[in-house]
Copies of this chain bind each other. A is one copy, B any other.
Amino acid sequence: MKTFLDCIPCFIRQALDSARLAKVDEATQERLLRVALKASLEMDMSQTPPAMSQEMHRAIRAFSDNPDPYREVKDRSNALALQWRAALQGQIQEADDPLEAALRLAVAANVIDYGAKSYVSEDEIHESLMHGLSAPLDGDIENFRVAARRAERILYLADNAGEIVLDRLLIEQLPPGRVTVGVRGAPVINDATVDDALCAGIPEVASVLPNGSDAPGTILDDCSEAFRDAFFQADLVIAKGQGNYETLSDVDREIFFLLKAKCPVVARDLGCELGAIVLRQSGVPARASEQD
């Protein structure tokens, strides 16, 4: 997805929010705001929004002399999700369609996104999970079910800390031993890294593969060769969240995007309601059908 004009004011607002979250003084906040303004001014609008965000968050980490300003936020989100996980696992097991229930909860947990908002409260997360279980699913789960059953190699691209704890519940519904979970190669915003995958217990159910990049999405050219190989060799790619959608929606392979549409620009691009629980299949119908 290219960058839209509406992304710019939002990006400037995010820069200020992130500077404050990194607890820098007001002069540094102004300096970071100017970095964001300059980046916006020089922006190539054909790039994806996470490309601009990546630059900005590098500046925030450098100016704040903090390699991971969102560590506290991420720890809190992981702890909260871990606290709820057993109960949600119970709800999935009792559901008529455990795969769909797990998928809905994993999408609803995508509300924990400190790129789209500057603060996400416990109440908001809880409301989103309840909404996710009952709201209409915008997408066709049957294609996803078939693709998941057939795939030998599944690459599951995680999005945020906290969310990744509930991603595990969906991974438990996929064929065992076939899933690799891709995470960011280095901290950026509250995106999930290897640390969060470990905290979520992902190694108990899947392999973990850092993508080698610090973009808040999946910019393939910026990822490691090992990650790109895994990406193109997978029979099924599941990509969580807006950042992964924004960076992969124009990539030439089949991808199942699972996300909560939290911003009007992404919702418009997807042709869905704001706040919708979205499952979208994109790209060329690929390996899953070739293997029939």
List A residues at the B interface (Cβ < 8 Å): 5-6, 8-10, 12-13, 16, 26, 29-30, 33-34, 37-38, 40-41, 45
- In the complex the two chains form, is A13's CB within 8 Å of B5's CB? no
A-B contact pairs, 7 of them (CB 8 A): A5-B26, A8-B33, A8-B37, A30-B45, A37-B37, A37-B40, A37-B41
State the oligomeric state as a number of copies: 2
The residues of B that contact A6 with a CB separation of less than 8 Å are: 16
Q: Which 8 A-B pairs have the closest CB atoms?
A: A9-B13, A9-B12, A37-B41, A12-B12, A37-B40, A37-B37, A9-B9, A5-B29
- In the complex the two chains form, is A34's CB within 8 Å of B45's CB? no
The residues of B that contact A5 with a CB separation of less than 8 Å are: 16, 26, 29-30, 33
Nearest Cβ on chain B to A247's Cβ, whole angstroms:
22
Nearest Cβ on chain B to A246's Cβ, whole angstroms:
19
Bound Cα distance from A9 to B56, whole angstroms: 15
The residues of B that contact A9 with a CB separation of less than 8 Å are: 9-10, 12-13, 16
Kindly list 14 other residue pairs between chains A and B, CB separation below 8 angstroms, not including A8-B12, A9-B16, A37-B37. Answer: A5-B16, A5-B26, A5-B29, A5-B30, A8-B16, A8-B33, A8-B37, A9-B10, A9-B13, A12-B40, A30-B45, A34-B41, A38-B41, A41-B41
